[in-house]
Amino acid sequence: MHREIHKWWSSNLSKDMEIAVYGHYGFALLLFPTAAADYLEYERFQLIDAIAPMINSGKCKVFSINSINSESWLNPHMPARDKAIRHQQYNEYVVQEVVPFIHNHCQGLTAIVTAGASLGALHCANNFFRRPDVFAGMIAMSGVYDLKTYTGGYYDDNCYFNSPVDYLPGWNDEYIMEQMRNGKKIIIASGRGAFEDPQASIRLSEILHQKGVPHLLDLWGHDMTHDWPTWRKMLPHFLDTQF
């Protein structure tokens, strides 16, 4: 499998940010890490190996980026307001820096699908919902889509506009809504086993139904726990059957 590592100084985050690229061709799959992990997490936990047939066949080209969760909601020593600001800076890094890098690397305006598990699912869904004009779809696995789960009671505009279950019900921008409704692949998946929260996925699905946004809600069995074996099964399944 072709593999590259790139790094540049992010003007939005004021730090070096790495990105791993796997494959040569296909639509771009943009992976957001879980929790406080890094851009090589999906490789370390064999998820890249699990989707290797899709990468090697040219179905997709994978871009795995760093997180800043340890500088935001997972940092117990940081003021909550600063955590919310850092989260918004991360969104700007993704759209203003990562997306152009992907298009440049693919030598054209390739379709970009966001994906992630656990806290990475929140980031992948949030980035898609905020900018469906930029992203072609999302694969969110085992996520919780209420940012208040992480904020410790703090709430401001940056929290509201990064919490899909809060802003989506009132989303009245018809251009954005039509972008979601027309030809986008929206996949929301969860197991029902230990440490999973299928109700979080059901809640997000209900909001999308109310907004008339087509999507797939896929709840797996009670043997599917909040862990890597589940995600190593889910992601190749969706890439194989939905794309």
* Dihedral (Cα; 130, 179, 115, 53), 10-degree rounding: -160
| Phi, psi dihedral angles at 118 (to 5 degrees) | 60, -125
List the chain domain ranges. 3-242
In this prediction, residue 183 carries a pLDDT of 87
CATH class of this structure's domain 3-242: alpha beta
* Strand spans (E) along 91-135: 112-117
User: What's the CA gap between 11 and 14, in Å, rounded?
Assistant: 5
In this prediction, residue 173 carries a pLDDT of 87
In this prediction, residue 37 carries a pLDDT of 87
In this prediction, residue 111 carries a pLDDT of 96
| Phi, psi dihedral angles at 209 (to 5 degrees) | -60, -45
Report residues of the chain scoring pLDDT below 70. none
Helix (H, G, I), strand (E, B) or coil at 141: strand
* Helix or strand run (H / E) with residue 150: helix 148-151
Q: DSSP state, 71?
A: G
In this prediction, residue 36 carries a pLDDT of 82
In this prediction, residue 179 carries a pLDDT of 93
Enter the tokens of residue 162. Answer: 């990064």
Q: Are 129 and 123 in contact (CB under 8 A)?
A: no
In this prediction, residue 133 carries a pLDDT of 95
User: What's the CA gap between 86 and 36, in Å, rounded?
Assistant: 14
In this prediction, residue 148 carries a pLDDT of 93
Helix (H, G, I), strand (E, B) or coil at 35: coil
In this prediction, residue 230 carries a pLDDT of 98
In this prediction, residue 172 carries a pLDDT of 87
* Strand spans (E) along 95-230: 112-117, 137-141, 185-190, 216-219
User: What's the CA gap between 165 and 140, in Å, rounded?
Assistant: 14
Locate tokens 């029902």: which residue? 192
Enter the tokens of residue 42. Answer: 């999906």
**pTM confidence score:** 0.96
Helix (H, G, I), strand (E, B) or coil at 187: strand
DSSP secondary structure of 155-223: --HHHHTT-HHHHGGG---HHHHHHHHSS-EEEEEE--STT--HHHHHHHHHHHHHTT---EEEE--TT
Enter the tokens of residue 178. Answer: 């039509």
